[in-house]
Structure 1
Amino acid sequence: MLRGTPFPSAYRAPSTLCRRCFLRSVAARRQQARYVSTSFLEKQNEAKIKWDDRAKLIEEGKIPHLWDILKERGYVKDIAGTEDQIRELMLRKRIGVYVGIDPTAPSLHVGHLLPLMALFWMYIHGYRAVSIIGGATARIGDPTDRLQSREPITKSDMSMNITKMHYQLKRIWLNVEEHARRHGYEKEPRIWGRALFNNSQWYSSLSFIEVVSRLFKGMRLGPMLSRETVKRKMEKGDGMSLDEFVYPLMQAWDWWHMFRKMGVRMQIGGSDQYGNIISGIEAVKYLRDTEPDPSEKIPDDVLNTPVGFTVPLLTDSSGAKFGKSSGNAIWLDQFMTSSFHLYGYFTRRPDADVENLLKLFTFLPLDDISKIMELHKQDPSTRHAQHALAYEVVALIHGIDEATEVRDRHRGLFSKGVFHSPLVTFPTDEPSTANLASGFRVDIQLPESLILSKSISRILYAAGLADSVTDGNRLTKHQGAYIGGAPGQPSATNRGMDYGVLTYTPIKNWFPQDTKNFLIDGKLLILRRGKHFIRVVEMVSDAAWEASGMMYFGEPGTGRVRMLREALVDAGKDHDLSLLNSAEAREKFLDRAEALYADEGGPLLRGLPSEPHPPVAKTRARQILDQSFRTYALAGSGAGATKAKTAEIDSILERTERHLEDQVTRLVSREGHLKDKKRRRAERAQAAPMFKKVHV
C-alpha cells in the first residue's frame, strides 16, 4: 500500500507523494559525491614536492629555466603579458599550455609544426600540454590576415579533416615521447600530462545564452573594431560577417573552459595569432573576475593570470607564409607529401637558415647542433646539417624506421634500396603501430552497391580492414572494429555523427540497410580497426566506380587466384603446342602453367618490388594482385590509376608469356635431347661387339 507523504511546497509539486517517489526526487536533487583515492593525493603531493625542488634549483642557477631555453632556441616572438609574469608562473606552477588548430584542411602542414614544437618542449619539461582541434570554430573560420571570407566546409569534409588531423596528432605525440627518451627525458607517469581535444566536445552542450550573458556582456565594440584584421577586411576585403567578428571570442571561450577545468594558463600560437591571444587574455580575465558561483571563484593572482606568446612565422625562400591558403604547404600526410619529399624539402634549406631550423624543429641539444654545424662547415657540399635536420623532422612525423629508410635512399642518390609500398590491408602478421598506420591510405572510394546492399563484414574486407569476409564477421561478433556514429545507439536508429565531432560506436553484424544511417552527408563512412588504422570511405555511384577501373577486395568476378589461373592458361593457348610431339608433353606443359601462380620462387614473383614483410599465409596470386593495387593507389584515382593498374597487369602477363615460351623451348629441346640420347645409346649397343673384339 502506498502512503501519501507531505511534499514541501518549495519543490512546487502536489501536496502528497508516495514514499518511493519522494525518496527518488530527493536523491535526484542531492549533490553527487566524488571520491579521490589516497594514492592519487599522494602522487599529487609527490609531484608538488618535485616541482618545488626544481624551482629551487632554477633559482640557484643549477638548471636553466625553460623560458630561457625557449628564447635561446628562437621560439619566442611576441609576448602576451609580461616576461616577469611568465617566468614566475612557469617557475611556481605546473601550468597547462595549449595550441589550437582548426581542421580547415585534410592534413597538418609544416607551418603547424612550429607552435607544436614549443608545446612539445613544455611537455617534456613536465607541464600539462593540450592540443585542440577546432571542430566548432572551423565552422566559422579564423578571418585573421584574410581579405575574403572562407568557403563553408561541408559536414563530410569537416568529418574527414577532423579524423585525419586527430590521428596525425596522436602519432606525432607518440613519437615525441620516443624522441624525449632518445635525448634523456624520462617520462614520469601521472606527472607528465597531455591531452587531445575537439572543442565541439564542450560547444555541443553549451547554451548560447550562457556565452552571451557571461562573455559578450563584458566585451566592448570599440577595441574589437580597432583590431587590424577587422579594419583591413572591412576596408579592403569583402566585409566582416558577424560570425567572423566574434571568432576571437569563441576562441577565448575555449581558453576559459580549459582555464577553469584543466588549469590551462598559457596559449601558444603562430605570429598571426597575437591579436586573438590578446583578446583571449582580456576575455579570460573578465570571466574569471565576474564568476557568479562563489564555490568556483578563481583568485586574481600571478598563479592564475592568463599569458601567451607567439612563435616566428615560417616562410619559404621568397618570404611567403607557408599554408593551405598560400598554396605552398608541405603536408605531414604521407599521401599528400611523401616522407621522401618531406625529407628532400629540409635538405634543400639554405645554409644560412639550417642552424636556426635545427634549433626550432629538433630536440637536439644546442651543443650537438654546434658540432653538426662545425662538421657542415668543413664540407658544405655534403649538406651534413640539412640531412641531420631532415632526419629529425621525418622521425618526429613518421617514426625512426621511416626516417632511416628515407635518409638511406637520399644518400644513395635516390637509391636502389628496398622501397616499402604503402599498406593496403590491416597488418595481421605484425604489430599495428601508429607509425605503420601512417603508410595506410586513409581516404578511399567504394561503390554504392557495396555500401548500401552488402553486409558490413564485406565492407570491412573491401576497405582493407579485414583479411577476409570471415575475418570481418569475427570482428563484428567480438566488436573489434568501429564506425563513426552516435555512441550507444542501435544501428537501425543511429543518428550518425554530429557536425564537427568525431565519435565512434562498435560495429555489429546489422542488416545491410542499416549502414546508410552512418553515412555523413549521404556519402562518407568512417571505419576504424585498432587504435590507429582508419578508413574514410567515400561512396561513389556504380557507374563512376566502373569508369574508374579500380577494384576492391572481394569484388565479384575479380577473384585473384581465378584471374591468374585463367591468365596463365590463356597465355599458354597463344603458343603452338604442336611443337610438343606427345600428348604427355602437352599435359605436362599445361600442368606447369596451372601451377605457376603458386610457385614460391617462380617468375611471377621475381621482378616485382619485394614487400617489407611478405605475408606467409598469402598465396603468390594474392601478393601479385596486391602489388598492382599498390601501384595504382599511389597514382590516385581516375584515368591515371587505371593506366597504372593496366600497365602492371600487362607486365605480369608479359613476364608470364616469356616464361611460358622458355618452358616450351626447354620441353622441346629436352624431347630432342632424349631422342638423340636414345639413338646414340642404340648405336653404341650395336657397335659394342666390334669394340669388344678389337679390344681382345
Structure 2
Amino acid sequence: MSGVSVAEERAEILAAQRNDDSFATLWDELQWRGLVHVSTDPEALSELLEGESFTYYCGFDPTAPSLHLGNLVQLLLLRRLQLKGHKPLGLVGGSTGLIGDPRPTAERTLNSRETVAEWVTRLQGQVTRFLASDGENAVRLVNNLDWTAPLSAIDFLREVGKHFRVGTMLKKDAVAARLNSDEGISYTEFSYQVLQGFDFLELFRQYDCVLQSGGSDQWGNLTSGTDLIRKVEGRSAHAVGTPLITNADGTKFGKSEGNAIWLDPEMCSPYTFYQFWLNQADADVIDRLKVFTFLSRAEIEDYERQVAEEPFKRAAQKRLALEVTTLVHGAAAAQGAIDASEALFGRGDLAALDESTLRGAVSELPQVVLPPTAKFIARPITQLMVEAGLVKSAGEARRAIAQGGVYVNNAAVESEDRALEAADLLHGRFAVLRRGKKTLAGVVAAG
C-alpha cells in the first residue's frame, strides 16, 4: 500500500471486516467460531446481541508493554460485536495493572507506577488499532484508575468490599489453585476480583454497560461483576468467557519456545509473527481461521477441504498467516515477511529486503555474532559454518563447498578459501549462510 498512511491502511482493514450473514444470529456465528466457552445466559445473550445497541467491555491489564495473542482473541470478539452495531469500551487497567490478577503458580512482581502508566498508554494505542474509532458506536477508552484512585481504603471496603463473601471468593479457580500451592496468595492478589467487580459496576453506572467479555480462566472475576451489579443495583448484567485456545496436542497456544507472541513488532517481528501462523499444524489451522480471521464460513469450509485433500500445499496456513499478519502489522509488513521467507531459501533477493525485515528473519536462525563492522575481520566461510552448526568440522565444510551446496546471501560459494568480507554484510550487519536447500544460519555484526 505504497503512499497510504498507517491510519488509512488501518481504516481500510477495518472497513473490509464483516460478520457472516449466513448465520441466523451473531450468537450462532460466535459459537461456530469457537468464541464462547461459558456465558451467563445464552438465550438472553442471543436476544441482546440481536436487539438495540448496547455497551459492552473487556479489560486489559498493563502487566507487560504489549498485548499478546490471548488479548487478540478478545479484541476480535469486541470487533464482531461492534460490527453488529454495539458500543465497545476498551478498559486498560491503570489500577488493576498495579496489582495483577492471580496467576495459578506464583505471586506477580509489582511494577512501578511510572512503568504501569507508560504501559497503559502503549496498550491503549494497541486497542484502538483493532476497533473503529469513529461513528455512533466508536470505541471509548477507559482507565479504572480514574474511579479507584479517589476512593479511600475505608470507602472502598464499606461501599464495595461489604458485598463480597470470603467463602465465595475462596472458591474462585485462580484463588483455589494458589491456596493449594506452596506459594499461597497475598491479600493484594486475593482482592483483585473485588477490583474487577467494581470496574463492571462503575461502567454499568457510567455507561449502562451490560456485558463483559474475557478469557474463561477469568470467569470468577467476570462473575464478580455481574454479582455485584445484581446486589447493588438490582439489575442483571452478562458475561462471556472465551475458551483458552490450545493446540490439538493440548499444549498452550500462543507460545513460541517459551515466549509469548506479542502484538508489538519490536517484541515479536512481523517475520516471526508470520512464521508462527505459517507453522500451525493441520489439526489446528481451521480453528485458527475461525477465531482469528474474518473469512466467511464458506471460505473456511473450503480450506478445510483443502487441508483434507491437499495438505502438502498448506494453503490454509498460508492464508491464515497472511490474514493475521496483515491484521496486526499491515499489508506491507505481511508482504515483507513473505518476501523474506522466499529469499531465505533462495527464491528471492535478500539484498532487496529492508533492514527491519531482514533483522527479524535472521533472528529466527542459528547465529554467529561478529564484532562491530568497524572492527570487522574477514572470517573463512568454513569456520563460520562450523560455528553456526551447519557442519561438524572444517573438513565437512570444505566437502560441502566442493559439492556446490554452500551459499552466502544466496550466491554459491565456489572456493574452499572463500572468506566473509565486510562487503558481504547486508545493511552493513547481516549475512545468511545456507547449506543445501533448507539448512540456514545467520551472521550478524554486533551493533
* Same fold by TM-score greater than 0.5: yes
In structure 2, relative to structure 1, the CA distance for the partners of 1:373 and 1:318 (3 Å cut) is closer
What pairs with 1:612-651 in structure 2 (closer than 5 Å)? 643-645=445-447
Instruction: Give 2:291's match in structure 1, choosing from 334, 343, 360.
Output: 360
In structure 2, relative to structure 1, the CA distance for the partners of 1:220 and 1:377 (3 Å cut) is closer
Q: Contact (CA 8 Å) 1:249, 1:283: kept in 2 or not?
A: no
What pairs with 1:553-592 in structure 2 (closer than 5 Å)? none
Instruction: Give 1:196's match in structure 2, choosing from 141, 148, 153.
Output: 141
Correspondence 1:150 to 2:108: yes
Q: Contact (CA 8 Å) 2:256, 2:276: kept in 1 or not?
A: no
Q: Following TM superposition, by how much is the alpha carbon of 1:160 offset from its aligned partner in structure 2, in angstroms?
A: 4.0
In 2, the alpha carbon distance for the partners of 1:68 and 1:191 equals 25
Correspondence 1:162 to 2:123: no
In 2, the alpha carbon distance for the partners of 1:318 and 1:87 equals 32
Q: Following TM superposition, by how much is the alpha carbon of 1:62 offset from its aligned partner in structure 2, in angstroms?
A: 9.5
In structure 2, relative to structure 1, the CA distance for the partners of 1:276 and 1:68 (3 Å cut) is same
In structure 2, relative to structure 1, the CA distance for the partners of 1:66 and 1:101 (3 Å cut) is same
In 2, the alpha carbon distance for the partners of 1:549 and 1:265 equals 57
- What CA deviation, in whole Å up to 9, does each residue of 1:208-248 have, x standing for no partner? 44432222122222222233333332232322222212110
In structure 2, relative to structure 1, the CA distance for the partners of 1:356 and 1:324 (3 Å cut) is closer
What residue in structure 1 maps to residue 354 of structure 2? 420
What residue in structure 1 maps to residue 322 of structure 2? 391
What residue in structure 2 maps to residue 252 of structure 1? 197
Q: Following TM superposition, by how much is the alpha carbon of 1:172 offset from its aligned partner in structure 2, in angstroms?
A: 3.5
In 2, the alpha carbon distance for the partners of 1:73 and 1:404 equals 27
Q: Contact (CA 8 Å) 1:98, 1:268: kept in 2 or not?
A: yes
In structure 2, relative to structure 1, the CA distance for the partners of 1:160 and 1:101 (3 Å cut) is same
Q: Following TM superposition, by how much is the alpha carbon of 1:147 offset from its aligned partner in structure 2, in angstroms?
A: 2.8
What residue in structure 1 maps to residue 32 of structure 2? 72
What pairs with 1:479-494 in structure 2 (closer than 5 Å)? none
Correspondence 1:141 to 2:100: yes
Aligned residues: 354
In structure 2, relative to structure 1, the CA distance for the partners of 1:371 and 1:151 (3 Å cut) is same
In structure 2, relative to structure 1, the CA distance for the partners of 1:349 and 1:322 (3 Å cut) is closer
Instruction: Give 1:278's match in structure 2, choosing from 215, 220, 223.
Output: 223
Q: Contact (CA 8 Å) 1:215, 1:287: kept in 2 or not?
A: no
What letter corresponds to residue 396 of structure 1 in structure 2? L
- What CA deviation, in whole Å up to 9, does each residue of 1:342-383 have, x standing for no partner? 111111111111111100000111111122333444432121
What letter corresponds to residue 76 of structure 2 in structure 1? M
Correspondence 1:107 to 2:66: yes
In 2, the alpha carbon distance for the partners of 1:169 and 1:190 equals 17
In 2, the alpha carbon distance for the partners of 1:390 and 1:75 equals 20
Q: Following TM superposition, by how much is the alpha carbon of 1:193 offset from its aligned partner in structure 2, in angstroms?
A: 2.2
Correspondence 1:330 to 2:290: no
More strand by share: 2
In 2, the alpha carbon distance for the partners of 1:247 and 1:166 equals 21
In 1, the alpha carbon distance for the partners of 2:122 and 2:173 equals 33
In 2, the alpha carbon distance for the partners of 1:197 and 1:607 equals 51
Q: Contact (CA 8 Å) 1:115, 1:310: kept in 2 or not?
A: no
What residue in structure 2 maps to residue 430 of structure 1? none
Correspondence 1:172 to 2:130: yes
In 1, the alpha carbon distance for the partners of 2:253 and 2:307 equals 27
Q: Contact (CA 8 Å) 1:214, 1:287: kept in 2 or not?
A: no
In 1, the alpha carbon distance for the partners of 2:248 and 2:26 equals 30
Q: Contact (CA 8 Å) 1:320, 1:326: kept in 2 or not?
A: no
Question: Aligned to 1:373, what secondary structure does the other structure show?
Answer: helix
In structure 2, relative to structure 1, the CA distance for the partners of 1:75 and 1:196 (3 Å cut) is same
In 1, the alpha carbon distance for the partners of 2:127 and 2:173 equals 32
What pairs with 1:234-313 in structure 2 (closer than 5 Å)? 234-289=179-234, 300=235, 305-313=236-244
In 2, the alpha carbon distance for the partners of 1:62 and 1:334 equals 35
Q: CA RMSD for the aligned pairs?
A: 3.3
Q: Contact (CA 8 Å) 1:99, 1:131: kept in 2 or not?
A: yes
Q: Structure 2 length normalisation: TM-score?
A: 0.71
Q: Following TM superposition, by how much is the alpha carbon of 1:272 offset from its aligned partner in structure 2, in angstroms?
A: 0.5
Correspondence 1:321 to 2:245: no
Question: Aligned to 1:253, what secondary structure does the other structure show?
Answer: helix
Correspondence 1:217 to 2:19: no
In 1, the alpha carbon distance for the partners of 2:187 and 2:177 equals 15
Q: Contact (CA 8 Å) 1:102, 1:135: kept in 2 or not?
A: yes
Q: Contact (CA 8 Å) 1:322, 1:329: kept in 2 or not?
A: no
- What CA deviation, in whole Å up to 9, does each residue of 1:368-423 have, x standing for no partner? 11223334444321211001011111011111222123234335555534322349
Q: Structure 1 length normalisation: TM-score?
A: 0.47
Q: Contact (CA 8 Å) 2:339, 2:353: kept in 1 or not?
A: no
Q: Following TM superposition, by how much is the alpha carbon of 1:196 offset from its aligned partner in structure 2, in angstroms?
A: 2.4
In structure 2, relative to structure 1, the CA distance for the partners of 1:190 and 1:215 (3 Å cut) is same
In 2, the alpha carbon distance for the partners of 1:422 and 1:393 equals 19
In 2, the alpha carbon distance for the partners of 1:159 and 1:318 equals 38
- What CA deviation, in whole Å up to 9, does each residue of 1:513-562 have, x standing for no partner? xxxxxxxxxxxxxxxxxxxxxxxxxxxxxxxxxxx999xxxxxxxxxxxx
What letter corresponds to residue 35 of structure 2 in structure 1? Y
Q: Relative to structure 2, which stretch is displaced further, 354-363 or 133-142?
A: 133-142
What residue in structure 1 maps to residue 151 of structure 2? 206
What residue in structure 2 maps to residue 402 of structure 1? 333
In structure 2, relative to structure 1, the CA distance for the partners of 1:155 and 1:373 (3 Å cut) is same
What letter corresponds to residue 216 of structure 1 in structure 2? G
In 2, the alpha carbon distance for the partners of 1:354 and 1:338 equals 21
Gaps of 5+ in 2: 1-20, 361-370, 374-422, 431-442
Instruction: Give 1:119's match in structure 2, choosing from 63, 75, 78.
Output: 78
Q: Contact (CA 8 Å) 2:229, 2:237: kept in 1 or not?
A: yes
What letter corresponds to residue 319 of structure 2 in structure 1? A
- What CA deviation, in whole Å up to 9, does each residue of 1:630-685 have, x standing for no partner? 87xxxxxxxxx99524xxxxxxxxxxxxxxxxxxxxxxxxxxxxxxxxxxxxxxxx
Gaps of 5+ in 1: 1-60, 178-186, 290-299, 424-438, 440-547, 551-605, 610-626, 632-640, 646-696
Q: Percent identity?
A: 33
In 2, the alpha carbon distance for the partners of 1:96 and 1:228 equals 28
What residue in structure 1 maps to residue 434 of structure 2? none
What letter corresponds to residue 361 of structure 1 in structure 2? F
Q: Following TM superposition, by how much is the alpha carbon of 1:151 offset from its aligned partner in structure 2, in angstroms?
A: 1.2
In 2, the alpha carbon distance for the partners of 1:155 and 1:190 equals 34
Q: Contact (CA 8 Å) 2:79, 2:130: kept in 1 or not?
A: no
What letter corresponds to residue 348 of structure 2 in structure 1? K
Q: Contact (CA 8 Å) 1:133, 1:197: kept in 2 or not?
A: yes
In structure 2, relative to structure 1, the CA distance for the partners of 1:608 and 1:66 (3 Å cut) is same
- What CA deviation, in whole Å up to 9, does each residue of 1:114-140 have, x standing for no partner? 122211111111111122211210211
In 1, the alpha carbon distance for the partners of 2:255 and 2:310 equals 36
More helix by share: 1
Question: Aligned to 1:123, what secondary structure does the other structure show?
Answer: helix
In 1, the alpha carbon distance for the partners of 2:344 and 2:256 equals 33
In 2, the alpha carbon distance for the partners of 1:220 and 1:373 equals 48
Q: Contact (CA 8 Å) 2:211, 2:239: kept in 1 or not?
A: yes
In 2, the alpha carbon distance for the partners of 1:326 and 1:379 equals 29
